[in-house]
Chains A and B, each alone.
Chain A
Amino acid sequence: MLRIDCLRSIYPDLENCLVVTIMGAVAAELHSLGHRPNFFYLQHAMGLASSTGLGLALCLPEQKVIVFDGDGSLLMNLGGLSTMARYRPRNLVHVVFDNESLLSVGGFPTATSTGTDLEGVARASGIPRVATVRDVESFKSTLAGAMHGSELTTIIAKVEAKGPSGFVTDLSLLENRFQFRRHIQSLKRS
């Protein structure tokens, strides 16, 4: 399963959510499908995309928030799973693209390649709904279920360690950040 195919399969459903991604291939691939003002790409600070999603979800309980995380980033902030589970916002969906690799820095294998089970870690951290998916159809249906459900969900999507040739987009970090915040404020006014 390729991450870009996963993203393409659910891209239309992201229109009315707030989306936070990690850096590298995830950001570049989502951006390549077409940037929207409700997408925020955290191009550094590995581990904090999930924490950002938690802050958004707690402050905007009526708004669906999706985080696109990765195995390397999540392994840097496993404690964040316990924080998310503690508050378990019903409007937060946490997707982890697990390619068992730190792809953007040269493909170094992460601990999920040697047996660390992120679904098990998420479940044991107290995340109420967890699932592992291995094909695009399952990804699409599991994510749809989580988005329309009312429980904090972590979905581990096992994907191949393949990505785009480059990671820099033409969207500046600050432009993205200000646009994202302005978009949210416009939602609150409407």
Chain B
Amino acid sequence: MPVSLTSSRVIFDALKECDIRLVSALPETWLVHLIRMADEDPEMILVRLAKEEEGVGVSAGAHFAGVKSAMLMQNHGFLASVNGIVSFAHLYKIPLLMLISYRGSLGERDPWQTQGGNISEAILRALAIPYFCLDAPETVKKRIRQAQTLAESSLQPVALLLTRDLMWEEQ
């Protein structure tokens, strides 16, 4: 499977360095290695969700408990989480670090992903969620640290879009 193991490792190590101790996730192809790494790490609590919006509640609970968390989801999962983001994370000023696989953008072969790809950034902007596209492994560590710092200081959701260039190794 051409999901980048190298980039997945860089992302996971960066999360660990930021003291992330809980990861919620709903599996999707690009996230497969990341979820496995979280599952195999005894220091990490992995919460496999039925629907991504649950992750907003789980991360809020973790925040109240003083545990730093991250959410792994596809951009369609982000779309499925919008009410939770608005009427919990925004309403109650809950920091969320959202790592969102950016399907449906340049290079996408699966027709069913393309509509979500068209509108993901527009929805993030409409929600006034700060976001950044991660496309180079060498910047991942710094950007994850910066995104978490902003989420914690502003008490709001911050998104990092995991792009094809970062997550997929063409064969």
Residues of B contacting A185 with CB < 8 Å?
A: 66
| 0/1 interface trace, chain B 22-66, chain A, CB 8 Å (1 if under) | 100000000000000000000001011111011111111111111
- CB-CB under 8 A for A58 and B47, given A42-B88, A181-B63: yes
| Residue B118 interfacial (CB < 8 Å) | no
* Interface check A145, CB cutoff 8 A: no
CB neighbours of B67 from chain A (8 A): 59
Q: Which of B54, B62, B64, B92 contacts A174 (CB 8 A)?
A: B92
Which of A's residues lie within 8 Å of B, judged by CB? Answer: 18, 20, 40, 42-45, 47-60, 77, 79-80, 82-83, 86-87, 173-174, 177, 180-181, 184-185, 188
Subset of 26 A-B contacts with CB under 8 Å: A44-B87, A45-B88, A48-B57, A48-B88, A49-B57, A51-B56, A51-B57, A52-B61, A54-B57, A55-B64, A55-B65, A56-B64, A58-B47, A59-B65, A59-B67, A77-B54, A79-B49, A79-B54, A80-B54, A80-B57, A83-B48, A83-B50, A87-B47, A174-B93, A177-B92, A177-B93
Interface residues, chain B, with chain A CB atoms under 8 Å away: 21-22, 45, 47-51, 53-67, 69, 83-84, 87-88, 91-94
